[in-house]
Structure 1
Amino acid sequence: MTIKERREREKEEMRELILSAANDIITAEGFDKLSIRKIAKKIEYSPSIIYHYFNDKEEILNNVMQRGYKKIVTAVSLTKVKGDSPEERLVEMTKNYIKAALDMPEEFIAAQLNQSEIALKHTSSLFKGASKEKPALAALYNCLKEIYKDKKVDANTVELTAQMIAVSTLGLIIKLIIEKDIGDKQRQKLIEYFSEEIVLRIVNEKGII
């Protein structure tokens, strides 16, 4: 390994250490409580060292949010590789999204319930045109478009349907995270019923398909 390669690896390791510490603080205390000083204390370095790797707290927050959102997008996008019908992919997509969120409950809650401008930059999905800007919503939108391909459904209705499914799924996830003691069997039943029945009912509303 060359000196340059070693330095790059050390740089990435330090960035990872900083982001991991920031994520731990956010999970435990919330976005608003994060500070450069707290990160420095947690990793046992001086605050000035952190500024060597990140411009400011906002850049750290953006990186933390991007990492979390990437997990969700990856979980949803993986559904594309399956050769099922679009309805089956929609069901699988919903299950994958829920599983990915439940695998990082504290991080998910901290991000989704935060109203800061930085958090909303990544989590907002109800504005008009969101399906063109948000990868996870875009995957859902495109699946719905395929379901509706032989129906007279305009793009705005497709997007609204995608948004309603996303919001409904978010509500279930939050309740599953909060109500921790319902048992694995009941949790799985709820996820399956929601994904296989409720989501398709939203799609089928008013006899669209």
Structure 2
Amino acid sequence: MAIEDRRERDRAARRQLIVTTARKLAEAEGWDAVTTRRLSTEIEYSQPVLYKHFTGMDQIADAVAVVGFDELATAIRAACTGADSPSDTLSRIAHGYLAFARENPAVYDAMFTRATSLRFADQETPAELVAAFAELRQAIGVVADEQDADSLTELFWAALHGLVTLGRTRRLRPDYESDRVRLLVNQFTDRQRA
């Protein structure tokens, strides 16, 4: 059994090395630079070894995305720490989300803009995706009142994604991010007082 355990640990370590290396290359040079040939050169394993772990680049990018969702859930959870009101919570989440996207552009692309085989809102949705949504939903649930908290969470998430996408492509005024976040948060919290 010890030999099997070691083989499984080695296999998991190789898989992690592939994902980590793909992520580093994508962040440094963009996803077009990440190929199985390049990865095999970078990690010093043959391409067939890569294919023992992943069927191709799309599956590798999906693995990077899953890691990204796990990190995003952690970032959202951390952003909520110390918040003193629903408005403060949503504001911290929004700023944390935007910072995550800014600091991890290739990971964000893997999560949201690249074609993917990952399933969302499905029984087969990876736990990391579910956890990221759950962190957002918990905060939105506080202000949802009688409205569908899942739909409100999807709307908040979509708005944040829009801010990321439009900001990255310089279609929004860069000095007004805080104003936009404040207005977005107000849309979710002011109606609670009405």
TM superposition score category, shorter chain reference: 0.7 to 0.9
How does the TM-score come out when normalised to structure 2?
0.72
Match of 1:145 among 141, 159, 182: 141
Check conservation: 1:22, 1:39, Cα contact below 8 A. Answer: yes
Give the direction of change, closer, same or farther, for the CA distance of 1:9–1:135 in structure 2 (3 Å limit). closer
Aligned to 1:17: 17
> Which residue matches 2:179?
193
- Mapped to 2, the partners of 1:72 and 1:89 lie a distance apart of 15
CA distance in 2, matches of 1:49, 1:106: 24
CA 1:134–1:6 in 2, change beyond 3 Å: closer, same or farther?
closer
Taking a change above 3 Å as real, the CA distance of residues 134 and 8 of structure 1, as seen in their structure-2 partners, is: closer
Amino acid at match of 1:147: V
Per-residue CA deviation, residues 28-84 of structure 1 (Å, 9 max, x unaligned), is 4648x86534422443431123245x1533653332111122221111111343251
Is the counterpart of residue 109 in structure 1 residue 109 in structure 2? yes
Change in Cα spacing, 1:20 to 1:166, as seen in structure 2 (3 Å) is same
Kept in 2: contact 1:161–1:202 (CA 8 A): no
Q: CA deviation at 1:139?
A: 1.9
- Partner of residue 75, structure 1: 75
Please state if 1:202 is matched with 2:193.
Answer: no
Q: Would you say 1:173 and 2:156 are equivalent positions? A: no
Match of 1:40 in 2: 40
Identity %: 18
> Partners in 2 of 1:147 and 1:83 — Cα distance?
14
Deviation at 1:170, TM superposition (A): 0.9
CA positional deviation for 1:94: 0.9
Give 1:100 shift: 0.9
**Alignment size in residue pairs:** 186
2:55 aligns with 56
CA distance, structure 2, for counterparts of residue 7 and residue 87 of structure 1: 49
1:154 alignment partner in structure 2: 147
**Against the structure 1 CA distance between its residues 79 and 24, is the aligned structure 2 distance closer, same or farther, given a 3 Å change threshold?**
closer
Q: Cα gap change, 1:154/1:174 in structure 2, threshold over 3 Å: closer, same or farther?
A: closer
- Greater CA deviation, 80-89 or 6-15? 6-15
**CA offset digits 1:85-116 (Å, max 9, x no partner):** 122111111111111111012332354222x3
1:134 match: secondary structure? helix
Equivalent residue, structure 2, for 1:90: 90
CA distance in 2, matches of 1:42, 1:61: 16
* 2:73/2:131 contact within 8 Å kept: yes
* Paired residues of 2:143 and 2:189 also in contact (CA < 8 A): no
**Structure 2 contact 30–106 (Cα < 8 Å) conserved:** no
TM-score when scaled to structure 1?
0.68
Gaps of at least 5 residues in structure 2 are none
Structure 1 contact 37–47 (Cα < 8 Å) conserved: yes
